[in-house]
């Protein structure tokens, strides 16, 4: 498709049946080009030819994508023995961080295996006109900065914040590694799921990762988001671990950074909700090598905005961009010296009911044979220390680096 809509009318039909002998979802993910969403509550793996929607670029890309999905699902013939979130035709998606960058994509695979609520199922989808070929990807040079260059970028950002030009900006690093052997996406996804069971492990074409951050979940009329901001390492002993967590929860710098992330989520969700509540104080999300400040936000929806519309309204949050958004984005483009591509953009799925989950594509890598491009970022505020922020991004990079062959 060019833009959001194909020049030939598409229609779909699907059949969802229960599976008695459920395969391991990791075994279904191919060596390359996979579509998968793996969490403790729900696993979805897509395979086979896919119908591709290219939402294009610009501020209306999420709306165009949502309209294309709605047009596709309108009049769809759906047979569903399971009737759970993630049954029927499912759209997988991955979006670039920058609205001006090409590469966002939505895909409806011809086969989806699902696992959740103690059930397993298989959905088979047919496309009346046949799935069109994927649009050509446009790549841009992304040299990035070495560690010393990134430290200087952080120092420039701090100076701008102290001068009152903005309150927060999130700066990312990119590093390139060569693995000892070709990287099999299914094997990498399995290792990430095992190492980070509380995260959302995902595969979308060449992008693989395990994100700790739920951008948005929509199930019927309930919406959830869990912004993260403020991080520290895990301790080597239980006592040290407890003390590091206590220091994080008492850190003025980290609490201020976290408050900005929560505020943006609350402000952006409020117009969609008749009720909206948030945890009064941030809790700790404990991962294998890091702990983060985390706040759960939940609302009751008014009207029926689907998960994709909600993801578009929330992105980019202060957790991956900054405050105010326009100035932070300008600084990111100026200081990072690489195109983020799909890193820190929404990644996830939506079913034909409009239910779905979208995470922020963090702790991830672009995979090409033995070649991997890894990304990590840190929130910069007035109190940030450039060396400490470099150490934080190094720890985040290890989440994927330690799982490569």
Mind spelling out the 3-state secondary structure of 177-226? EECCCCCCHHHHHHHHHHHCCCCEEEEEECEEEEECCEEEEEECCEEEEC
- Return the CATH architecture of domain 12-401: 4-Layer Sandwich (3.60)
Whether pLDDT at 1 is above 60: no
Asked if 229 and 293 touch (Cβ cutoff 8 Å), the reply is yes
Beta pairing, strands 42-53 & 105-116: antiparallel
Of the candidates 99, 168, 205, 389, the residue annotated as catalytic is 168
CA dihedral (253, 328, 147, 378) in degrees, to 10, reads: 40
What are 368's strand-pairing partners?
371
pLDDT per residue over 367-378, tens digit each? 999 999 999 999
What are 297's strand-pairing partners?
225, 278
Asked if 17 and 81 touch (Cβ cutoff 8 Å), the reply is yes
Cis peptide before 316 (omega within 30 of 0): yes
Query: What pLDDT sits at residue 4?
Result: 41
With H, G, I as helix, E, B as strand and everything else as coil, classify residue 311.
Answer: helix
pLDDT per residue over 274-289, tens digit each? 999 999 999 999 999 8
Q: Where exactly are the structural domains of the chain?
A: 12-401
Of the candidates 213, 257, 357, 389, the residue annotated as catalytic is 213
Q: What's the sign of the alpha-carbon dihedral 349, 201, 132, 316? A: positive
With H, G, I as helix, E, B as strand and everything else as coil, classify residue 373.
Answer: strand
In the chain, % helix, strand, coil (3-state, to 5) comes to 30, 35, 35
Nearest CA to 344 among 326, 359, 325?
Answer: 359
Query: What pLDDT sits at residue 2?
Result: 33
With H, G, I as helix, E, B as strand and everything else as coil, classify residue 175.
Answer: strand
Q: How many Å apart are CA 266 and CA 368, to the nearest integer? A: 38
pLDDT per residue over 103-160, tens digit each? 999 999 999 999 998 999 999 999 876 544 444 444 444 457 889 999 999 999 999 9
Annotation marks residue 213 as catalytic: yes
Q: Percent of the chain, pLDDT > 70?
A: 94
Can you say how many angstroms the Cα of residue 326 is from the centroid of all Cα atoms in its chain? 21
Query: What pLDDT sits at residue 129?
Result: 63
pLDDT average, residue stretch 354-376: 96
Q: At what angle do helices 61-73 and 307-314 cross, to 10 degrees?
A: 180
Query: What pLDDT sits at residue 6?
Result: 42
pLDDT per residue over 228-266, tens digit each? 999 999 999 999 999 999 999 999 999 999 999 999 999
Query: What pLDDT sits at residue 9?
Result: 55
What are 149's strand-pairing partners?
none
pLDDT per residue over 177-212, tens digit each? 998 899 999 999 999 999 999 999 999 999 999 999
pLDDT per residue over 290-331, tens digit each? 999 999 999 999 989 999 999 999 999 999 999 999 999 999
Stretch among 69-73, 86-90, 161-165 having the lowest mean pLDDT: 69-73
Segment holding 261, helix H or strand E: helix 252-269
| DSSP output for 117-146 | TTEEEEEEEEETT-PPPPPPP---------
Query: What pLDDT sits at residue 146?
Result: 87
Q: How many Å apart are CA 266 and CA 251, to the nearest integer? A: 22
Q: Percent of the chain, pLDDT > 90?
A: 87
The whole-model pTM stands at 0.93
The structure tokens listed for 45 are 């793996």
Buried b (16+ CB within 10 A) or exposed e, 199-216: bbbbbbbbbbbbbbbbbb
Q: How many Å apart are CA 337 and CA 335, to the nearest integer? A: 6
């Amino acid at each position: 498709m060019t833009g959001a809509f194909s020049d030939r009318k598409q229609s779909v039909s699907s059949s969802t049946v229960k599976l008695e002998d459920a395969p391991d979802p990791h075994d279904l993910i191919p060596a390359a080009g996979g579509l998968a969403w793996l969490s403790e509550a729900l696993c979805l793996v897509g395979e086979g030819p896919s119908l591709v929607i290219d939402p294009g670029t610009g501020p209306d890309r999420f709306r165009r994508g949502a309209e294309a999905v709605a047009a596709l699902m309108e009049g769809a013939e759906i047979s569903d023995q399971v009737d759970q979130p993630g049954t029927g035709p499912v759209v997988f998606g991955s979006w670039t961080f920058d609205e001006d960058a090409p590469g966002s994509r939505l895909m409806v695979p011809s086969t989806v295996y699902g696992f959740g609520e103690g059930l397993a199922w298989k959905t088979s989808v047919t496309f009346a006109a046949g799935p069109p070929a994927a649009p050509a990807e446009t790549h841009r040079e992304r040299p990035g900065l070495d560690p010393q260059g990134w430290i200087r970028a952080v120092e420039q950002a701090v100076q701008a914040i102290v001068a009152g030009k903005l309150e927060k900006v999130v700066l990312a690093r990119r590093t390139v590694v060569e693995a000892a052997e070709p990287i099999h996406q299914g094997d990498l996804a399995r290792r990430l799921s095992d190492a980070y069971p509380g995260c959302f492990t995902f595969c979308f074409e060449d992008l693989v990762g395990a994100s700790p951050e739920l951008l948005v979940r929509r199930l019927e009329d309930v919406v959830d988001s869990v912004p993260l901001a403020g991080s520290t390492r895990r301790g080597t002993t239980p006592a040290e671990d407890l003390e590091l967590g206590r220091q994080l929860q008492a850190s003025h710098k980290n609490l201020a950074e976290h408050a900005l992330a929560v505020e943006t989520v609350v402000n952006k969700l409020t117009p969609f909700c008749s009720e909206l509540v948030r945890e009064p104080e941030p809790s700790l999300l404990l991962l294998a090598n890091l702990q983060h400040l985390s706040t759960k936000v939940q609302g009751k929806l008014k009207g029926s905005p689907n998960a994709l519309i909600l993801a578009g309204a929330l992105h980019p949050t202060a957790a991956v961009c900054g405050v105010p958004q326009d100035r932070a984005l300008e600084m990111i483009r100026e200081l990072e010296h690489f195109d983020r591509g799909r890193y820190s953009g929404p990644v996830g799925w939506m079913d034909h009911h409009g239910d779905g989950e979208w995470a922020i594509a963090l702790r991830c890598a672009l995979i090409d044979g033995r070649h991997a491009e890894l990304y990590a970022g840190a929130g910069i505020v007035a109190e940030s220390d450039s060396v400490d922020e470099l150490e934080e991004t190094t720890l985040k990079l290890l989440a994927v680096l330690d799982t490569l062959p």
